[in-house]
Amino acid sequence: MIRSSFAGFTTAQLGMSAANSALNVVGQNISNINVTGYTRQRVDLDSFNVTTGPRQWGSVNETFIGNGVLTSKIEQVRDPYLDLRFRTEMSSVGYYDKTLSSLQDLESVLDEVDREGSIHNQLEAIFKALNEFNPQAANNEFQNMSKTEMQLLTQYFNNYSNRIQQTKEDNIKEFREQTIPSINQLLTDITNLNVSIKDNEILGNPALELRDERNLLLDELSQYVKIEVTYTNEYLGLSDRTAEECTVKILGIDDEGNNFKYTIIHDDKASQFQINEDCSNLTMTDINGNPIADIGSALKPTNGVDGTFTGADATAMNELLKKIQELSNAVKDKMTKIDEQNKLISSLSSQKNNLVKQGNKLHEDLISALNSVKSINNVINNLQEQLDKMDADGVDKTSDKYKEVEASLASRQELLKKYNNKLFGQDTVPAGYPDDVTALNALDRDGSGIYNKLIKIYGTITDAKSQPPKYATDANGQLAGGELIDKKNELATARDDLEKMRADYSLTIKELKANIYGGKSPEVNLEGLDPADKTRLEAIDGLAKYANITVDWDSYPVEGTDFFVSLPTITLTGTSARDGNGIPLFDADTGKIGNIASDGVDITITDTRGVEYTEKAANVDGDPYQLDNNGNRVLDEYGNPILDMGDQRNMYEHFQEDSGSLKASLDMFNRAGEFNETSDRGYDYYLNMLDTFARQIAKVFNEANTMDKDGNPLVDENGKPLDYANALFGADGVAPIKNINVTNANGQYLGYDGNFHNEPLPDVFKTDKEGYVLDNNGDRIPFPAGSTDKFLSLNATYQADGNNLVDKNGNVVGTVTDYSNALSNAALDPTALASYGFVQSKTTYDIKDAAGTVIDTVNAGDWVDKDGNKLFNANSDDINDATNKLQILNGIANGTYETLAGKVPKIDYDQITADNFTITQDWVDSKTNFVQTHDPSQTAGYNDNINHLIAQFSEKLDYTFTLPDGTQQKVFNGTFVEFYDNIGNQLGLDVKSSTVLVNNYITVANDIANNRDAISGVSLDEEGIDIMKYQKALTASMRLMTALDEQLDKVINNMGVVGR
Amino acid sequence: MGTGMRITTNAMIRKYSTNLNKALGDLDAKRNTVASNRNFNKISEDPGAAMKSFKLRSNFARTDVQIENTKDALAKFDEVTSNVLNCSSMANQFIETDLKGINGTASYETRQAYKQKVDKLVDSFLQQMNGKYNENFIFGGASTKELPFEKKGNEIYYRGEPVNTIPDTHKYFSEHSYRDIGFGMKEKEGEIVSTSAFDTAVNGLDVFGYGIGDDGLPNNIVCLAQELSNLLGKEEITGADKEKYDKIINKFPQVVNDMIDNGLAALGTKQAFLENAEDQLTQTSQILNEQISNLDFCDPAEAITNLMWAQYAYNATLKVGNTLLSNSFIDFMS
């Protein structure tokens, strides 16, 4: 190659330009060194060499010189793997950091290590007061001392509980009003950046700084939830240009607990979060802004009756889906056929063209051969004439001359034979040739001569000399034989087929569109559809009657043609099917359909991928929003529909454990350890522990003050209830009455008679220590009827739904009838009865009328009422005799019998919380007093009950809470102080482990950040070196330019002297 | 490039600031330890130690209460002993001086004079037997507010029942008034386990006697004195009276001995037991206190050394920062 004289200038200029760009990038790096999230940029330089193909005047030596340097692009130095790792770690940092700060809030309330005034110390103070009270049992001032200490204890409980609740409320407020809006804003900001970056990319700007900004936001997002970020390059329109699209997914779990990714950002669209009032339900829209609700909001209830979805509905949907599948498959079959035909045509065409080419080539050969033959024949004729003349002249046949001519003739004739073979595939010319074409046509088509080959291609040869040869026609005037003719015919047939196919296809499209639009679109001409299609069409239109469906159309190009076919993908709209993109019911790509099954109670949907979803028919209401009685959406004050929270997919249940600060906050709000069978101890765990403790204290002291060790009421020597022996602790000053806790939909309460009444009736029945109701024989009473391991407990709170009893968790536990029957077998509790004044007399006395006449005699052991009047005889007429029991229960129910002042039949300890825990007002007012002895015969100063209570401080007690079925679940066993210390210790351990974990994760995250910095950060040393490097390069290029200039100056102005 | 990580300016600054912060945090923690003199200020700093500390503090508080209980019981028993000793010395004096002078042949007037003396003795006895400690009657068994001994007419009553007719099986003898003196006061089936606590009830009947002996005379010293008074009060002394009179005179020293033997000896044992318990409790209290100190409170020397070390580390870190960030390649470019 000859290099242009000025090529060097370009090289020098490119070098200067590259160095200049590099220096500018150094400038950008240095100036942004302190910008958070800035990623180091780098100039990508490529050596440039104009390479061309072989050329005529190219040099034989390998002296190709390059053409300089190209500044190909400015790029960021970033490792996506480190981003991924950093964000994963940050989700753990976010989780434990949030958990730790919440636990530290609790610590400020519950940690008593360095505190004088504390529950721990107050318990000791009570112990001390009781010990001082012990020898001074009859002295009021000592009782008052104990009372004051206990009152103080309740105030500590109130204070601690209030502060924890306040902390929880503050955090909930912050979560609702700050955290959720921030994360939503963050999602929106990221989509905005996505749009900007894409816009820039379309204009050719890589938008590096915007990417930095986006990475920062993604880092921030990763602390809230565990995310995965992916980038895909999408083609822009029909050009070969691509632009990046960013997708963010939450790494979560599905309903079965398997890992699953939920899309929250795709390109310019993002999901938004919403949280309900008590932060138990975190909902999310899909990226299109539709609510992600349960399957029940996508299926339409049978005949519009909420909570129904029959098997017939499921079958109908399946039939419809099958028809859609058939239709689409038919379209696809036709598409395949068109494709095959197209391929056939093009193959035939090329074969035909090849044959034509071969024919033309053969013809050229033919002409040249014929010309050669002609000249050979001339030579032969000439030689023959010479021989004939020599014969005539009588030249000696043995003479050299004669022999020479003879040999020459023979060799020409041999040559002619070869030509004959080349032309005809035989030694001799066929008979009749050159005049008889028929003779040629009779040649063997598969023979080796040129004519034979031509005949094979063209069928016949009418005039071998014509160019190209003419086609012969047969007797019927049809083109006869020949591959070319055959191919032409095949081609024509294939074309015809394709035409027919296209017509068919357009009908198919028409059918398809008709189905798509339900035959209602004015654009669609339904003419030409057969009746079966119309029936099918109506059926498909009907699919929407059973479910909210989304139909997405994907375009499929028909190979070899210039048109596209749209085929549908049908999904169940906006359901909780994983990431809110709906449950695919038909997928045109694979041709698979889903299946719906229902037995009227349970619904199972299998999607096109074979994934199963279940739903209760009872949840089917056809809409994710709240509906009024007429089935219309209820609107809020701004006219927006209000989400039906019951329908929404709770994202909280779909986050991975221990990831992200959102999950941490929600765990703190919702998890209460043993109390709701969760693995974390949030605010409610500690509140529940304090409640449990308050209840235990109330129970121990109240029981000691109201009954003896056998559970009998405390009475005086005559058997009359002690008026001061009442509850010491209660809720808000009163001991809460335990009632039969069964209510119906009208808010009425179940009575002893099995009917519902406006007022609740108290529990007056005998129970064992675990709270199960006992019958006359002291046995537990089975409930539901016939059960062998479940028994009646009045600790449970039930709601009657018709005749069904539903527990707090919404489970049906039995029937109202069973419950009432079981209750009717319950024995009465003597202490509860004593609160009404019903006791067994310990003495014998007469009852006299006003005139002083004895009208009745009460014997020791007889049951008497509060006024001492006889109720029933002892033994023969026991209290639990059916008639007597009924009399008492009726009397209580209709208000004839009232409790004595300050007395409560049974105390509902579940109503006592740390928040409302107090000593009773009656005790404050000294109407109730501390019972010092359980022995009614003893005089003042006797202190066995005080000792009993002192001993309780060393007693290891079971601490329990009530499960929905009334059974008591144990959470701890130990003394008062041990229980309380355990609360603080548990918190201390949780804080410690969270601290350790958060520090670990921060260390790892910092390491990764350092690694990231090692790759993406700006180093001033490096940039300094680069300045020098590129500055030198720039100077060198400039020097090159000067050298070239000088060189040219010499060439132009000083080289050569001729002609000057 | 070498095999090491590429170090950038900002990575260096970040690492430095993390370390500086850590050093400062450490300094703060050490300073807190010195200032508060505590090894830990939050449970989470050392949950194990905190748990142990709470337990020790609980034990300490309980031991304190138990020491008070023991002291209180001891004081009561001192009072009891002193009263019994008073009774015994009064009785002895009476036996020595007065009893000898009385005989069955004395005139009515002389007998009346003696009777007055005996009645006075009965009153003095009753005064001692109804003695109080801390407002509580000390000889009333479990009852502390009801007058234990009372003279009604010519008879002595104990909590409303004639002392002479109280049987051995009376419920008074099974009364208890327990105090927690550190044996882990416990209940079994709703009753205090007697070995787990100390019974401070002192039954006056046990100390001063009750019922009628085989000789037909009261076993109780006051009752015996009252019997004597009743006898001296009679206008006519019969032969049987005289015989009874002699028997009473003879029984007196025996009753006093019984009082000393039964009452004081038993009390002495209990007192010794309480003193022993007090010693032990006091010792326990000291040990607990020491343990709490060791656990909760830091060793000042160690804490201050740690603080100085943290201060030193922090200063060093500061110094490093000053040199670390001063120069880069750019500073040396010409």
ipTM: 0.88
DSSP readout, A923-963? HHTTSS-----S-TT--TT--HHHHHHHHHTT--EEEEEE-
Find the residue in B nearest to A943 (Cα).
Answer: B177
Instruction: Count residue pairs from A and B with Cβ separation < 8 A.
Output: 183
Cβ B5–A1010 below 8 Å, yes or no?
yes
Residues of B with CB below 8 A from A709's CB?
A: 189-191
B234 closest CA partner among B52, B121, B138, B107: B107
Task: For chain A, count helices (H), then strands (E).
Answer: 22, 30
pLDDT tens per residue across span A930-942: 888 888 777 667 8
Find the residue in A nearest to B330 (Cα).
Answer: A1024
A450 CB burial (10 A radius; 0-12, 13-18, 19+): buried
Question: Cα dihedral sign for B158, B162, B164, B167?
Answer: negative
Cβ A988–B43 below 8 Å, yes or no?
yes
Q: What is the mean pLDDT of residues A262-280?
A: 91
CA dihedral A15, A18, A21, A25 (to 10 degrees): -120
Under CATH, to which class is B51-293 assigned?
mainly alpha
Confidence of residue A479 (pLDDT cuts 50, 70, 90): low
pLDDT tens per residue across span B135-184: 888 898 888 888 899 988 888 999 888 998 888 888 888 888 888 998 88
- Of residues A139, A992, A1017, nearest to B11 (C-beta): A1017
Cβ B51–A955 below 8 Å, yes or no?
no
Which pLDDT belongs to residue A559?
65
Q: What is the mean pLDDT of residues B256-285?
A: 88
Most A CBs within 10 A among B5, B8, B76, hence the mutation to make, goes to B8
What percent of chain A is modeled with pLDDT above 70?
Answer: 90
Per-residue DSSP letter, A296:
G
Average pLDDT score, chain B: 86
pLDDT tens per residue across span A52-104: 655 555 556 666 788 889 988 899 988 889 999 999 999 999 999 999 999 99
Confidence of residue B112 (pLDDT cuts 50, 70, 90): confident
| Helix, strand, coil percentages for chain A (3-state, nearest 5) | 45, 15, 35
Is the pLDDT reported for residue A821 higher than 80?
yes
Residues of A with CB below 8 A from B58's CB?
A: 120, 124, 977, 981
**Which one-letter amino acid corresponds to residue A46?**
D
Q: What is the mean pLDDT of residues A295-315?
A: 85
Q: What is the mean pLDDT of residues A757-765?
A: 93
Q: What is the mean pLDDT of residues A192-216?
A: 90
- Give the three-class secondary structure for B297: strand
A1034 or A429: which carries more pLDDT confidence? A1034
Residues of B with CB below 8 A from A1023's CB?
A: 330
Which pLDDT belongs to residue A519?
40
Is the pLDDT reported for residue A843 higher than 80?
yes
Q: Is A141 on the interface with B (CB under 8 A)?
A: no
Confidence of residue A736 (pLDDT cuts 50, 70, 90): very high
- Give the three-class secondary structure for A595: strand
Question: From the CA of B331, how many Å to the nearest CA of chain A?
Answer: 9
pLDDT tens per residue across span A510-543: 665 555 444 444 344 445 555 545 555 555 567 7
Most B CBs within 10 A among A112, A113, A712, A931, hence the mutation to make, goes to A113
Confidence of residue A491 (pLDDT cuts 50, 70, 90): confident
Average pLDDT score, chain A: 86
Q: What is the mean pLDDT of residues A695-713?
A: 91
Cβ B50–A984 below 8 Å, yes or no?
yes
Confidence of residue A107 (pLDDT cuts 50, 70, 90): very high
Tokens 């300089």 sit on residue: A68
Which pLDDT belongs to residue A518?
44
Which pLDDT belongs to residue A358?
87
Cβ B8–A977 below 8 Å, yes or no?
no
What percent of chain B is modeled with pLDDT above 90?
Answer: 26
Q: What is the mean pLDDT of residues A609-617?
A: 85
A544 or B167: which carries more pLDDT confidence? B167
Confidence of residue A574 (pLDDT cuts 50, 70, 90): low
Highest mean pLDDT (candidates A356-360, A486-490, A620-624, A969-973): A969-973
A39 or A478: which carries more pLDDT confidence? A39
Which pLDDT belongs to residue A578?
54
Q: Is A984 on the interface with B (CB under 8 A)?
A: yes
- Give the three-class secondary structure for A1059: coil
Residues 6+ apart with CB under 8 A from B292: B53, B56, B57, B60
Cβ B54–A1013 below 8 Å, yes or no?
no
Cβ A107–B44 below 8 Å, yes or no?
yes
Q: How many C-alpha atoms does A725 have within 13 Å on its Cβ side?
A: 26
Highest mean pLDDT (candidates A48-52, A173-177, A612-616): A173-177
Cβ B42–A111 below 8 Å, yes or no?
yes
Question: From the CA of B150, how many Å to the nearest CA of chain A?
Answer: 16
**CA–CA separation, A945 and A934 (whole Å):** 6
pLDDT tens per residue across span A667-696: 999 999 989 888 899 999 999 999 999 999
Is the pLDDT reported for residue B224 higher than 60?
yes
Confidence of residue A360 (pLDDT cuts 50, 70, 90): confident
Residues 6+ apart with CB under 8 A from A617: A307, A308, A309, A310, A598, A600, A601, A602, A603
Most B CBs within 10 A among A944, A945, A976, hence the mutation to make, goes to A944
Question: What are the backbone angles phi and psi of residue B333, rounded to the nearest 5°?
Answer: -75, 140
Is the pLDDT reported for residue A633 higher than 90?
no
| Phi-psi category of residue A690: left, alpha or beta, with phi > 0 → left and psi -120 to 50 → alpha | alpha
Residues 6+ apart with CB under 8 A from A178: none
Q: What is the mean pLDDT of residues B268-292?
A: 92
Q: Cα separations (Å) of A133 from A140, A404, A739, B197?
A: 9, 163, 35, 16
Most A CBs within 10 A among B43, B176, B281, hence the mutation to make, goes to B43
- Of residues B180, B187, B192, nearest to A131 (C-beta): B180
- Of residues B62, B69, B333, nearest to A1027 (C-beta): B333
In the stretch 168-227 of chain A, residues with CB closer than 8 A to chain B read none
Is the pLDDT reported for residue A897 higher than 80?
yes
Confidence of residue B58 (pLDDT cuts 50, 70, 90): very high
Q: What is the mean pLDDT of residues A486-508?
A: 81
Which pLDDT belongs to residue A352?
87
Find the residue in A nearest to B333 (Cα).
Answer: A1024
Q: What is the mean pLDDT of residues B20-36?
A: 91
pLDDT tens per residue across span A942-970: 888 998 999 999 899 999 999 888 888 99
**CA–CA separation, A115 and A107 (whole Å):** 12
A974 or A334: which carries more pLDDT confidence? A974
Which pLDDT belongs to residue A509?
64
